[in-house]
A and B are shown apart, each in its own frame.
Chain A
């Protein structure tokens, strides 16, 4: 059912794109293309929401809106492939296996967390189920079109990812209720049992569909089970996996598990110990998703090591920097700059960690993550180089449409009376849950 709905949403979104996409030219800035070097004093043109030209000597089509960004820096919109913003609910922490949960059903386009995140140059996020369950819900990848109808936020055609979680969180949540899993063995059992059931479920349905197609009469369809429906989609590779892991043994375990069931593992989130098994991750082609220098906020995070990014980089692991927090999600570019403190990874590779790499981890590498002709016009404009930590975002553009403008929203330009320019979306409740995820650094243990 979820899938059908997504197809409908996708169709609606395609229509919506045509309606709202804008034409725009940014002129005079330093363009960080990510895939094709840096262009000084360049121009970038967006038409119908797509980049149609980027370069030094670009002719701006007549009649198009031109923004002068002389002296400023232009980069692709930041992508955060592990976030919990814009959700009314995060954790269906009532059972260790809840693949029937689809996070887009908790998606709140009018959530203030979107507006605050836009101010950090972010254009795309994967907003996720929490880590209470070994098999959680299906995450949703969205563009941050604040307060628009939901179908304008969900990116059409993208394969969504099912959240899984190993380690201490499911152990704590269910162990404290005297339920399985309370150990890593229990985590493994719960995951394996669910996918074995799903294989049987899929076999039954496959046989039924085959018989039906061959014209057999008097067939009774197998009983429908929404949990199994989602896992069947995973087995059919219509969904992929993002797994929350900390320890190296879990990383290896989930890679082997996904091989065993022939399912697609795209990202390992948090992945604190990734550097210890970098070669194994590289071989499996799985993305590292995590922080730069967080460590020690719980036992399984104790070996967090920012220097380890160098090992992963050398081993060929694609690195993605995630926020997992509405706080840091507003300045991922500053977090990324710290990679330069701890490693010798080149600047452009560091910028990829918040642009092209997450785009690829979301299987959107051909649409977003770099400034190339034909890609989406998702842009962040900064006043200094984005890896200069004293920079700030001035403008965030999604498919040619300006969603954040510093000169209109900064406290330095608004007066008290003007601060109420953002009307509450009708009938919507403020997203308390999402801001609870990690509204304060000391609460990091909560969802992590």
Chain B
């Protein structure tokens, strides 16, 4: 019995140790080229992380007791990349493991929070590419798709990964239904207007009910039951949208869908964000004037027959020139694209075609953070911010640059993924077979 209790104690200590390791580390990065992205310019120096936060950036910082010291000489320290629109956590294994795109033309109440799988292999693969924070959306194929969440790509339980819920509502202006309403662009516009009008009405009713129930506190329980019977979860999800509390990302596909999205944003005074994969320059001046952020997913879109080959390669440079807040999106979304780690590619193309490297980096880090309303927390290296820090061998813009160290919320991430494990496994198998043949 005594022996067993000893064993329990040993196991407990081991677990506690593991817990301590899993909890935020104290990390000192030494002698790296630190690229904070925002504010101060690039310096060579040290960066101290404690309790999940960036504590200090400077030179000759003393390592606190027990700190892990990482020598970053000749290396580059960047904030973790922020992927502005992904399906990381909900894509799972192709086929049955996929939990995106619920059926229905209007499903604003779908919340990826309810389906986040911390074991999604995409999480490890993505963070090994230097991406530390993502917005995961529930779908894109319906007109009104659902909510989104912000995930830090670290944590054994979904709740530990989620940094923010209901970040935005996702509306696809081009999601025509087949053989049912709305199957045309004007149909989609009127469908949306109807839903938003209903949501405004519902919102008024809600506030009336609230007033009543506050007046009559004794009958609160009864009232509560009554309103529950009348609750409309679809409308509840749209109320924060039409009252301007939650932003809407409008997925657009061409000039017409951009124009209609802009009109709807104006008419309903929405917090609108335009996600475009082409034609955005036709509305660049208006977008700049109306201060609407842009998710630019069109760098690799092939321009139309009569358009110059580099129209879309060059678009980001124009967006930057006009002072528009924009973030890069690698383009594809959903189960078809687990390659979120490739998000620097559109940035490097844009740099080749006129965008400054500084602006390109901003559009991979601080800009997406700002668009998603998490710029106080991530997107740059500043004291007080969440310690999502990545050490690279060079600029993320360079395809050849490698990610050497990933730190998310102050935790040192093991540099392994499905793909590194496959590599180790088959390296052994193939080399063994080759030896035998010799």
Q: A442-B336, A444-B337 are in contact. Are A311 and B427 (CB under 8 A)?
A: yes
Contact between B94 and A441, CB atoms less than 8 A apart? no
Q: A390-B351, A392-B352 are in contact. Are A441 and B302 (CB under 8 A)?
A: no
CB neighbours of B310 from chain A (8 A): 119, 392, 409-412
Bound complex: CA of A409 vs CA of B125, how far in Å? 38
Interface status of A150 (Cβ within 8 A of chain B): no
CB neighbours of B398 from chain A (8 A): 337, 388-390
Bound complex: CA of A389 vs CA of B349, how far in Å? 7
CB neighbours of A294 from chain B (8 A): 339
CB neighbours of A409 from chain B (8 A): 308-310
Residue of A nearest to B318 (CB): A411
Q: A296-B122, A305-B422 are in contact. Are A337 and B399 (CB under 8 A)?
A: yes
Scan B103-127; emit 1 where CB is below 8 A from any A CB, else 0.
0000000000000000001100100
Bound complex: CA of A57 vs CA of B162, how far in Å? 63
- Count A-side interface residues using an 8 Å CB cutoff: 65
Q: Smallest distance from the beta carbon of A280 to chain B beta carbons, Å?
A: 8
Interface status of B214 (Cβ within 8 A of chain A): no
Interface status of B385 (Cβ within 8 A of chain A): no
Interchain CB contact (< 8 A) of A419 among B94, B308, B399 = B308
CB neighbours of A305 from chain B (8 A): 419, 422-423
Contact between A298 and B94, CB atoms less than 8 A apart? yes
Q: A308-B426, A311-B427, A390-B357 are in contact. Are A419 and B336 (CB under 8 A)?
A: no
Interface status of A443 (Cβ within 8 A of chain B): yes
Q: Which of A302-347 contact B (CB under 8 A)?
A: 302-308, 310-311, 314-315, 326-328, 330-331, 334-335, 337-338, 340-341
Interface status of A414 (Cβ within 8 A of chain B): yes
Number of contacts between A and B (CB, 8 Å)? 169
B125, B306, B339, B341: residue with the most chain A Cβ atoms closer than 10 Å? B339
Interface status of A293 (Cβ within 8 A of chain B): yes
Q: Which of B295-353 contact A (CB under 8 A)?
A: 300-303, 305-311, 313-314, 330-339, 341-342, 345, 348-349, 351-353
Q: Which of A369-413 contact B (CB under 8 A)?
A: 387-392, 409-412
Contact between B332 and A441, CB atoms less than 8 A apart? yes
Interface status of A144 (Cβ within 8 A of chain B): no
Interchain CB contact (< 8 A) of B419 among A306, A435, A445 = A306
Contact between A392 and B338, CB atoms less than 8 A apart? no
Interface status of B401 (Cβ within 8 A of chain A): yes
Contact between B311 and A411, CB atoms less than 8 A apart? yes
A279, A387, A419, A443: residue with the most chain B Cβ atoms closer than 10 Å? A279
Interface status of A257 (Cβ within 8 A of chain B): no
Interchain CB contact (< 8 A) of B332 among A303, A388, A412, A440 = A440
Interface status of A188 (Cβ within 8 A of chain B): no
Residue of A nearest to B432 (CB): A279
Bound complex: CA of A430 vs CA of B302, how far in Å? 14
Contact between B333 and A340, CB atoms less than 8 A apart? no
Interface status of B215 (Cβ within 8 A of chain A): no
Interface status of A297 (Cβ within 8 A of chain B): yes
Bound complex: CA of A311 vs CA of B431, how far in Å? 8
Interface status of B95 (Cβ within 8 A of chain A): yes
Bound complex: CA of A216 vs CA of B307, how far in Å? 65
CB neighbours of A276 from chain B (8 A): 426, 429-430
Residue of B nearest to A387 (CB): B400
Bound complex: CA of A444 vs CA of B339, how far in Å? 12
Q: A299-B94, A327-B302 are in contact. Are A340 and B339 (CB under 8 A)?
A: no
Bound complex: CA of A299 vs CA of B92, how far in Å? 11
10 contacts between A and B (CB under 8 A): A116-B309, A279-B437, A295-B338, A295-B419, A306-B419, A307-B422, A310-B423, A390-B398, A412-B353, A442-B331
Q: 9 smallest A-B Cβ distances: which pairs?
A: A441-B332, A337-B399, A340-B400, A442-B332, A296-B338, A307-B423, A389-B348, A411-B308, A389-B399
